[in-house]
């Protein structure tokens, strides 16, 4: 017990290796070991979505993934959404549309919303609300978040 396990994985395009205990969550390792603290712990129970990351392109609650399961996986966190010079249209629209207040849920929303738009570039309001219902926000009442995702979808159309 307590024996550390060696894990090789890819995070935000970079190959990384880490040691972990079997009981440690992916969220714990991403935040404390890899010091990518963008993903947040809101409930550690899969109910708030603040810890959402992409695992092989699919959104998951990283609090409900064992770090050892990341062996050989492709992980993406909020830190990977912007490129060197520019914010992603979703990030721009979240800022211009004031879609965050305290900001603690924002990384999770951005990761989920990016996955949504990548797979479904023109979602309806209802689809946006449904696909984001695994992410809780207590500040905004969701209005400005939904509008920001709609605005980003338009903006991404224009650049294409």
Partner 1 sequence: MSENFNHAQIIKDPGDNYKILGTRPVRHDGVDKVTGRAIYGNDVQLQGLVEGAILRSPEAHARILSIDTSEAEAHPGVLAVTTSADFPDLGDKIANLGEGPVNLAHLAANCLAKDKVLYKGHAVAAVAAQNVHIAREALDLIKVEYEPLPIVTDVLEAMKDGAPLLHEGLLTNLVPGGEKAEAPSNISDHHHFKRGDTEAAFEAAHIVVEREFTTQTVHQGYIEPHVATAHWNQDGQLTVWASTQGSFSAREQTSEVLQIPISKVKVIPCEIGGGFGGKIPIYLEPVAAVLSRKCGRPVKIQMTRDGVFEGTGPTPASFMRIKLGVDEAGKMTVGEAWLAYDTGAFPGGVIGPGVMCVFSCYDIEHAHIDGYDVCVNKPWTKAYRAPGSTHVAYAVESVVDELAEKLEMDPIDLRLLNAAREGTKRVDGPVYPRIGLIETLEAAKNHDHYKSPLEGPNRGRGVAAGFWFNIGLKSAATAHVNADGTVTLLEGSTDIGGTRTSISMQLAETLGIAAEDINPKVADTDSVGYTDITGGSRVTFATGLAAVEVGKDIISQMKERAAKLWECEAADVEFSDGIFSQGDNSISFKELCAKLSRTGGLITARASVDPQGFTNGFGVHICDLEVDVETGKVQILRYTALQDAGKAIHPSYVEGQLQGGSVQGIGWALNEEYLFDEKGHMLNPTMLDYRMPTALDVPMIDTVIIEVPNPSHPFGVRGVGETPIVPPPGAIANAVKSAIGIRMTELPMSPPRVHSAITEDGNGAS
Partner 2 sequence: MRDFEYKAPATIDEAVTLLAERGSEARVLAGGTDIIVQLREGLRKADLVVDVKKIPELMSLAWRDDGGLDIGGAVPCHVLYNDAKVINAYPSITDSAKIIGGWQIQGRASLGGNLCNSSPAADSIPSLIVEGATCRIAGPGGERLVPVQEFCTAPGANVLTEGEMLVSLALPPAGESSGSRYMRFIPRNEMDIAVTGAGAWLRLGEGGETVEEARLALSAVAPTPIVAGEAEAWLQGKPATEESFTEAGDIARKAASPISDMRGPADYRTHLVGVLVKRALNGALGRARGGDRNPVIPSGINLC
> What's the rounded Cα separation, in Å, for the pair 70 and 15?
12
> What's the rounded Cα separation, in Å, for the pair 39 and 37?
5
144, 98 Cβ separation under 8 angstroms = yes
One of 19, 98, 121, 157 touching partner 1 (CB under 8 A): 98
Q: How far is the CB of 94 from partner 1 (least distance, A)?
A: 5
Nearest to 89 by CA among 148, 147, 13: 148
Alpha helices in the chain (DSSP H): 26-28, 89-96, 106-119, 125-131, 143-159
Region 76-105 residues binding partner 2, contact defined as CB under 8 A: none
**Chain contacts with partner 1 (rule: CB under 8 A):** 21, 23-24, 31-32, 35-45, 47-48, 50, 77-79, 81-82, 87, 91, 93-98, 100-107, 110, 125-126, 128-130, 132-148, 150-151, 154-155
**Chain contacts with partner 2 (rule: CB under 8 A):** 1-2, 5, 21-23, 25, 44-47, 49, 52, 55, 58-61, 64-66, 68-69, 71, 112, 115, 126-127, 129-131, 133-136
């Amino acid at each position: 017990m307590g024996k550390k396990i060696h894990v090789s994985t890819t995070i935000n395009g970079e190959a990384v290796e880490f040691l972990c205990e079997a009981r440690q969550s992916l969220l714990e390792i991403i935040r404390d070991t890899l010091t990518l603290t963008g993903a947040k712990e809101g409930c550690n129970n899969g109910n708030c979505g603040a810890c959402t990351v992409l695992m092989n392109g699919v959104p998951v609650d990283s609090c409900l993934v064992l770090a050892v399961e990341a062996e050989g996986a492709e992980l993406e966190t909020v830190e990977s959404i912007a490129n060197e010079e520019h914010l992603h249209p979703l990030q721009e629209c979240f800022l211009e549309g004031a879609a965050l207040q305290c900001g603690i849920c924002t990384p999770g929303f951005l990761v989920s919303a990016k996955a949504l738009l990548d797979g479904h570039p023109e979602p309806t309001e209802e689809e946006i609300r449904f696909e984001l219902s695994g992410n809780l926000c207590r500040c905004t009442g969701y209005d400005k978040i939904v509008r920001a995702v709609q605005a980003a979808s338009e903006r991404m159309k224009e650049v294409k």
